[in-house]
Each structure stands twice: as structure tokens, then as C-alpha cells.
Structure 1
Amino acid sequence: MTIPRFWPRTLRWQVILLVSGLLLLLTTTAIVTTAARVHVTDVGSRVRETLRPAQAAVAALGRGYVDMETGELGFLLTRDPQFLQPYETGSAAVTAAEDSIARLMADDAETMGLLSAVSAAGIAWRTQAAEPAIARARANGTVADNQQGRALFDTLRARLTALGDHVDQLIAARLASSRRANATANVTTGVCVGLALVLGLASVLILRRSLVTPLNRLVAQVREVSAGDLHREVEAAGPEEVTRLGEAVEAMRVRILSEADQVAAASNRIARLEETDRIARTLGDTAIRRLYGITLDLQSAAARFPRSGPVMATAISGIDRTISALRSSVYGTATRTQPPLHTQVSEVVGELESTHGHAPGLLLTGDLDAEPPAEVAAEVTQVLRDFLRATAVPEGGAEEVELALSGEEIRLRVTCAVPDERVAGVERALAEASADAVVRREPDRVTVEWRRPL
């Protein structure tokens, strides 16, 4: 699986991107589902509270007009006033149904228009056919031709049918809209769930490739190094955090290897010096014994030959000076005026143990046998004391002192732990201690480096 170039290289941003994708899918599902539920609720409320009652009112309106027609025809055929009761009750039902429809569908202009057409057709039928026929039958008992009444009622029935069909269509449209909203919510939820599963699987694969595999490889390499294989190179790969960790481990390995080489070289040098010293002591002992023997022989000869006494005395004095020089060279009988520079630096660092209760680590590198002039050694120790004094702050202080000696220069580096609020003051103090100091600031840490050319 190839990671796209736009994919972030840091583990933090990879996790943020994957979690953001899952949250986006969850949010989309919640929004669509909520909107669908709200829409379905609104549609159900509209149908239940408005359209269904309006549909029932339209049906009641039709029944009312049918009752009126039935009462009219019964009265015209029998002249019995009792047949007018359905006409009267139907008229009341028509009025109530029209009021109910007008109240329920006041916000629908088309329904109100159809209702107005039904009311107009009903009024025309009552005023032009039904009521005049009833009046004539009451007055003289004659029944005129009712063709006009049938035509007007057919018109009324057609308009009632149109009104009922329109209300039915409104209900059907609302129900279809509700079904579409539910279907959309279901499809969206299914798609988001599928994408979430794909994203989860991709997350596992990507994190395994970018984190687990590089981390396992780094752990295996570190174990090899810790087992003693210091020549095993630690490869830094993967997210930025793992890469930085690998680079730090590799730098530590290189430093350990370098210091091990220096220790080995120093051990070899010490071994050579010890062997040279042993050889020198052996040769010195032999030479001194022989010179002592020669001195005794010369003294004996001077006693036997008095005339050669001055010459013998001069030779004996020269031999004594030679013996003294040999003893000084071989056995070091000459006294040292001052300890080596690294010893003086170690003593300065050790002074912190008695004054502050702890001492920083001391790292000595380079040619430890180099002996700079006394004034240079005094300058180095004084600069070190000034640096240690400048960095001795509460909750901080020197952590490591490095002295590097060579034939060209002396380098002094002090690493200190300093709280953030005291970094500025420590930097000023270090600058005042030595104008040649180079100060580097790091989080909760300050490193000062000072060089003295020779």
C-alpha cells in the first residue's frame, strides 16, 4: 500500500486526520437522520392534524349534498314534509364541512379555490333548482321538469370530486415525501457506515505501515545495539516522531562508539607508556648500576694513582650528574609545579559537591596528556568557575561539563538545566562571565561553549 504524498508525516496529524474523517461521517449521518426525522414528523403532523381531517370534511361535504338531494327528491315525489328533514340536516352538515375545510386548508390557495367553486355550485343548485322546486311543490303541488337541477347537481358533484381528488393528492404527496426522506436517511446512514468501515480498515493498515512496522524495526535494531553490536547502524524511518527517536538513538550509538574508540586508544596509549616505563626502568636500573660500578672503579683507581685524582674526580662528578639525570627521567624524581589541567577541572567540578550537594557529570576528551601553560590553565579554571556560578539557579544548575584538549585549542562546554523564567538572566550572566562564550538556548536547558586557541 503506497501512502499518498499529501499524507502527513507526523503521527499526531495522521491520528487527527483519521479521527476527523470518522467524526465527519458521524456528523453527516446525524445531520441527515435528524433532518429526515424532523421532516417525517412535520409531514405526519400535517397529514394527521390537517389533511386527514380535511379529507374527512370533504367526504362529509359530499354526504351533506347527497342528503340534501335525497330530501329534495323525496319531498317532490311524496309531498311529505318529513322528507325535507334530510335536506335540512344535509344543509347544516354542508355548512359545517365548508367551515372546517376553510379553517384547515386556509394556507392552501388551490384547495380554497376548489372549495369556493364547490360552494358556488352548491349555492347555484340550491337557489336555482332545489329551493324553487320545493317552493312550487308546497304552493300548488305541481312538479316542474328537474333537468336543470340534475345538471346543476352534476356540476356540483364534479367539483366535489375535484376537491376530494386534490386533497387525496396532497396526502399522497406528503406521504411520498416522507418515504423519500426515510429512504434518503437510510441510504446516507448505510453509505456513511460503509465509509466508516473502509476508513477504519485503512486506518489500521496505514498505522501499521507508518507506526507499528517502523517501531518494531527500531526496537529490534536498538536491542542489537544494546546486546553489544555497536557497529549496527540504526535506521530512522516512519513518522516524524519515530524518525527523531531513531536519529537520537543513532547519534547516541555513534557517540558511544566514538568514546569507546577513544577509551581503547587511551588504553593502548597507557599500555604503551607502561611498557615504555617498564623498559625505561629496567634499562635505567641496569645503567645506574653500571655507572655506580664505574664510579667505584674510578674512586679505587684515584686511590691507587693519586696523580690522576683531579681527572678521576671530574669524571666521577660527571657520572653523578648522569645518574641524577637518569633518575629524574626514569623515576620522575623532579617535582611537578602544578597538577594537569584535567585534574584542575575535576577539582573545580568536585567543589560543587561540597557546596551544593551534587556535581555535574565530567567528560574529558582529546589529548589528555597535553600540558598547556600555567596561565592558560588558570584562565580555563576561572572561566569554568564563572560559568558554574552563573548557572547555579534554584531548580537548575550544571548537568554536564566537557573539556576537550588538543594541540590547537581548548574547548569547554557546560550544559545546564534552567527553568524558562530564568533563562534570560542566566544568558546575561554567562555573557558577562566571558564575552567569547557562545550560548545556545533549548527548552528548559542552556548550553554554553567557550574555546581557547593555543
Structure 2
Amino acid sequence: MTIPRFRPRTLRWRVFLLVAGLLVLLTTTSIVATAARVHVSDAGSRVRDTLRPAQAAVAALGKGYVDMETGERGFLLTRDPQFLQPYDSGRAAVSEAENHIARLLADDAETITLLREARAAGTAWRTQSAEPAIALARRDGTLADNQPGKALFDTLRARLAALQNRVDQLIEAELASSRRVNATANVTTGVCVGLALVLGLASVFILRRSLVAPLNRLVAQVREVSGGDLHRTVEAAGPDELTGLGEAVEAMRVRILSESEQVAAAANRIARLEETDRIAHTLGETAIRRLYGITLDLQSAAARFPRSGPVMATAISGIDRTIAALRTSVYGTAAPTRSSLRAQVSEVVGELETTHGRVPELVLTGDLDVAPPEEVVAEVTQVLRALLRAAAVPGGGAEEVELVLSGQAIRLRVACVVPDSRVAGVERAVAEASGDAVVRREAGRVTVEWRRPW
């Protein structure tokens, strides 16, 4: 079974781990230093407030017993009661020192035991040797054997020495503990400082390797792309944040490149379509105008030669279908109403062949895609018929009929050859036929114009 290794992939986790490591080291150093200061302070307080006074009390205890022995010996040698004064003062000092030691070191069982042993040895020396010898010397003046007393006092000295050693050991133990804690705190602080330096250097290396280098590489690639090199691939590497940023920039580059190619292709298609449309419109207009001309010629011929009417009608119908197909191919729509307008105008013009024996030339110009409503077509044919009838005078008549189409109006222009003696009559007849018509007089000619907005 393999244990998975935890490797932080995001930059925030790497920074978090580095900062957490530094905080752990700082916290450890603070805790150890604080604990060391507290321990040293407690040890110093114990030594200063308890052990040193106890050490002085043990020394006072030994001095008190020495004063008692000195007073005993002086009295036994001189029988002078003044030598008993050190004995009495030493006894009081011994009692006070024992009580002081018991209060100070009540929590240390071994010291209390040694104190009890020293007190028992002192009591034995005092009751078995010193006081009986003093009493005997006072009573009969004899000097008692001092060998048992010497042995008892040596035992007392040994017990006092043991008690003194115990107090010294306690002081040394506290001082040694303080030194050990200080040494531990110093070592811990040094180790933490060293680890902090190592971690700082490692963080500089890690951040440079995982952040600075990938970021500089990504910035260089983005600059190349922003400079116009859209085919430059943006590589995503480093922490997840930089990887996500690089992938987003790469996706944007691919999308921009794709859209640029689509725009270029669309521009090329539009250019080709515009050119094709221009050519188609040019050819279509030319072809349709020519077909219109042929249709008008065929209608005029059909009017002059009634026997050829069916054949001409068939040809005209075929040409109309051809015009409709051309319009559908070039413009996308056909204009069936325009064929009706042309047919009715041609029919009106052809009527002159039957009634007056001459057919004027018919010209169709303007916007050939215009499809006027039926009521407009009816009004145009009615006005044209009235104008042609008014211009039909002996020795003259309509010579040219022009129909101009636009998206806003339809304009009729009828050019007539009229003898000078008939011009006034033609003007009156035109005015009666249409009050909107405009008549222009020339030598031997009259031009009538009529306009119908729609």
C-alpha cells in the first residue's frame, strides 16, 4: 500500500504552509522562552525566599549548639556561672533555628527527617551529658567523665552536617535546574532561529521557482500574443492560480484567432458576393431593359399586324417569363404588376394603329422594379388614352410616349407633332383631358407632361 504524498498545488497553500511554519517556530520559541523565564523566576524565588534562609538557619543551629558546648566546658573548668550564659543563649538560638527550618522546609520530607534526627541527637547530648555534668559541678564541685558527652556531641555534629548537606543539595538542585532550563531555552531558540532562516531561504527559492519564473514566462507569452502573434501558444504551468490564468488566456487566444479567421472569411465572402451582385445587377439591368425593348417592339408589331397577334402574344409571354426568371435570380423577387402596367400602356398605344393609322414610339425608363397598385395603373392608362386622343389631330399626332417609373411617382411624357394652326386646339383638349398636365409649345411640336405621385 502506497501512502499518497501531499503536495500543495495552489500558491495560497504554499504561502500558507510557509507562514504557518514561521508561526510555529515563533510560537515554540515564545513558549519555551516564557516557560524558562517562569521556571528560573520560581527557582530563584525558592532559593532566595526559602533555601537561603534555611541554609542560614542550619548554620545558626550549628552555631547555637557550639555555643552551648563552649559554655558547658567553660563552666566545668572555672565553675564561673558567667560561662553558662552562652549555653543559655545557644539553647534559645537552637530552638528558634529548629522552628524556622521546620517552617521553611515543611514540604521536604527528607529535610524534616534529618531535622528530627539532629533535634533528637541534640536532646540526647543535652539531657544525657551536658545538663547532668553542669548539675554535678554545681552540687559538689566534682568533674564528671566527659567521654560519653563527646561521643554524643560528635553524633550531633554528624546530624547537623547531614542537614547542612541536604539544604546545600536543594540549593544546588534548584540552581542546576535553572541552568538546564536556560540551556534548553537557548538551544531551542537557536534551533528555531536556524530553522526560520532555513525556512526563509527555502520560501525564497520556492516562491521564485513556483511563482516568479512561471509568472515571468506567462507575461512574456501574453506580450507576444498581445503584440499580434496570435499563433503563439500560451503554456500553463506553475501553481493552480497561474495555470488557470494561462488556460484562460490560451482559450481567449484560440477564440480570438477563430473569430479573426471567421471575420476574414466572412469579409472575403461579402466581397465576392458584392462583386457578384454588382455584376449580376449590371447584366440583369441590361438584359431586362433589352427584353423590355423587344417586348415593346413585338407589341407594336402585333398592333400593326393583327394577324400575327397570336404568335406575338406567345413570344411576349415567353419573354415575360424570362424577365420574371431573371428578376428572381438577380433580385430575388418578381414584379407581376409591372407586366400589367406595360401591357396596358402598350395596349393603349396600339389602339392608335386601329383608329389613326400610326403608332408612337414607347420608351420605358426609371426604376423598373417599381410595382404600382392597380388603381394607379388604371389612372395612368386612362390619362394616357385621353392625352393621345387629344393629340390626334389631322396632319399630326403623338410621336413618342415615355413612361418614367420611380418609387415615389409615375411620370408620362407625350411628344406630339402638331401643325401651328392646331396647337391652340390641342392645348385646350389636353387641359380638358387632365388639369394636371403641363404643355410646352415648340415650333411644330407640343410636349405634354403629367405626373402622378403614389
* TM-score of the pair, normalised by structure 2: 0.68
Q: Counterpart of 1:315?
A: 315
Closer/same/farther in 2, CA of residues 252 and 334 from structure 1, 3 Å limit: farther
Q: Counterpart of 1:38?
A: 38
Report the secondary structure of 1:107's partner residue: coil
Amino acid at match of 2:133: A
Write out aligned runs for 1:212-251 (5 A). Answer: 212-251=212-251
How far residue 186 of structure 1 moved from its aligned partner, in angstroms, is: 1.0
Q: Counterpart of 1:278?
A: 278
How far residue 298 of structure 1 moved from its aligned partner, in angstroms, is: 5.2
* CA deviation profile, 1:289-332 (whole Å, cap 9, x unmatched): 55456556656876887754543443234224323432343244
Write out aligned runs for 1:43-442 (5 A). Answer: 43-292=43-292, 294-295=294-295, 308=308, 310-334=310-334
CA distance in 2, matches of 1:102, 1:295: 147
How far residue 227 of structure 1 moved from its aligned partner, in angstroms, is: 2.2
Task: Please identify, of 194-203 and 82-91, the stretch whose mean Cα deviation from structure 2 is larger.
Answer: 194-203
Contact preservation (8 Å) 2:324, 2:334: no
CA distance in 2, matches of 1:275, 1:334: 22
CA distance in 2, matches of 1:161, 1:302: 162
CA distance in 2, matches of 1:292, 1:127: 165
Contact preservation (8 Å) 1:218, 1:246: yes
CA distance in 2, matches of 1:224, 1:317: 67
CA distance in 1, matches of 2:69, 2:281: 149
CA distance in 2, matches of 1:258, 1:48: 87
How far residue 176 of structure 1 moved from its aligned partner, in angstroms, is: 0.1
Whether 1:25 and 2:45 are equivalent positions in the alignment is no
CA distance in 2, matches of 1:108, 1:314: 142
Contact preservation (8 Å) 1:7, 1:14: no
* CA deviation profile, 1:89-112 (whole Å, cap 9, x unmatched): 111111111111111111111111
Amino acid at match of 2:85: Q
CA distance in 2, matches of 1:245, 1:154: 92
How far residue 64 of structure 1 moved from its aligned partner, in angstroms, is: 0.6
CA RMSD, Structure 1 to Structure 2 (Å): 2.3
CA distance in 1, matches of 2:5, 2:219: 26
CA distance in 1, matches of 2:142, 2:314: 189
Identity %, equivalent residues: 83
CA distance in 1, matches of 2:176, 2:108: 19
**Where has structure 1 moved over 6 Å in runs of 4 or more?**
299-306
Amino acid at match of 2:256: I
CA distance in 2, matches of 1:95, 1:230: 104
* CA deviation profile, 1:249-269 (whole Å, cap 9, x unmatched): 222222222222222221111
CA distance in 2, matches of 1:74, 1:87: 10
User: Where does structure 2 lack aligned partners over 5 or more consecutive residues?
Assistant: 336-454
Amino acid at match of 1:272: R
CA distance in 2, matches of 1:252, 1:266: 20
CA distance in 1, matches of 2:251, 2:294: 62
Q: Counterpart of 1:444?
A: none
* CA deviation profile, 1:357-378 (whole Å, cap 9, x unmatched): xxxxxxxxxxxxxxxxxxxxxx
* CA deviation profile, 1:200-221 (whole Å, cap 9, x unmatched): 2222222222222222222222
Contact preservation (8 Å) 2:236, 2:244: yes
CA distance in 2, matches of 1:321, 1:111: 137
* TM-score of the pair, normalised by structure 1: 0.68
Amino acid at match of 1:258: S
Closer/same/farther in 2, CA of residues 112 and 5 from structure 1, 3 Å limit: closer
User: Where does structure 1 lack aligned partners over 5 or more consecutive residues?
Assistant: 336-454
Contact preservation (8 Å) 2:234, 2:246: yes
Contact preservation (8 Å) 2:50, 2:105: yes
